[in-house]
Amino acid sequence: MTYLSTGEVAKKLNVSLRTIRYYDNIDLVKPTMKKEDGTRFYTPDDIVMLQKVLLLKATSMPLKNIEKVINHITIQEVLAIHKEQLEQDFEQLSESLSHTNTLINTVKLEGDIQWEHLLPLLLEDRVSRQKRKTEAMDDLFTDEEQMILSEQLPKMETDSTDVTKWMNIIKRIELCLAEGKSPRSEEGRLIAEDTLILSNEMFNGNAELEQKFWEARKSETQSADLNLYPVNNAVMMFMEEAIEGLEKATGK
């Protein structure tokens, strides 16, 4: 029979000595051999039992529950529990990653923003926000239009190049505003051209949907309900006037 000391088991399972001793003290996993001086020795079967406990513990199951089921649960059941926990962890990590990307893109747009501007994004109930968005989408767009928007709209929570392109347009407009350039300037015309190209790509040439979306985008209330990134009203006005000037100049 092969015996391993507490230290050897701890190294093998990558857990602390304290954890193994604690499981012994609460009679969860007791070593097969324990000398008078307290030295513990574990058999391969003991180690398998420890591994089962650690796996169930990784699923956030309380120790008191593990103690009740440890001798009655099959490997398949252990794996099913572990799979469920991994799926929950993955969902939480994905949500955290999406939220972090949103904040990163917000900082890229806003520059040195203050904490009070970020806290509402962190604290607002996401379920309520999603419900408000769903209701707004139903009010403003048909099912087919919603499907197109869902697939085509750039999302702040991603690292897509489409997001970067739209962010760059906003930054270019902000620079024009800071430098006092007119929407009818050469820079304004170029911004208008790029905006129309991106807009046409985004809506697949659906002019009616494009018009409905931009009307909603110009409304602060509807933009908030749709959970769209809040764009400064001056930026929207510059973009609209630049496009209007371009269309008049080209006769479109």
Q: Give tens-digit pLDDT for 80-138.
A: 877 887 887 787 777 767 767 766 666 666 665 556 555 555 555 566 777 788 888 88
- Domain boundaries 4-71, corresponding CATH code: 1.10.1660.10
The whole model's pTM is what? Answer: 0.53
Are 209 and 148 contacting, i.e. CB atoms less than 8 angstroms apart?
yes
Burial (Cβ within 10 Å: 0-12, 13-18, ≥19) of residue 76: exposed
Q: How confident is residue 156, by pLDDT bands cut at 50, 70 and 90?
A: low
The reported pLDDT for the residue numbered 5 is 92
Give the residue carrying structure tokens 């419900």. Answer: 131
- Please state, rounded to an integer, the average pLDDT across all residues of the chain: 82
- As a whole-number percent, the residues of the chain with pLDDT over 90 amount to 23
Identify the bridge partners of residue 42 per DSSP, sorted by sequence position.
Answer: 4
CA torsion 57→60→64→69, rounded to 10°? Answer: -70
Round to whole Å and give the CA distance between 100 and 94. Answer: 10
Round to whole Å and give the CA distance between 129 and 95. Answer: 14
Round to whole Å and give the CA distance between 52 and 66. Answer: 9
Q: Tens digit of pLDDT for each residue in 190-243?
A: 999 999 998 888 888 888 988 888 888 888 888 878 877 777 889 889 999 999
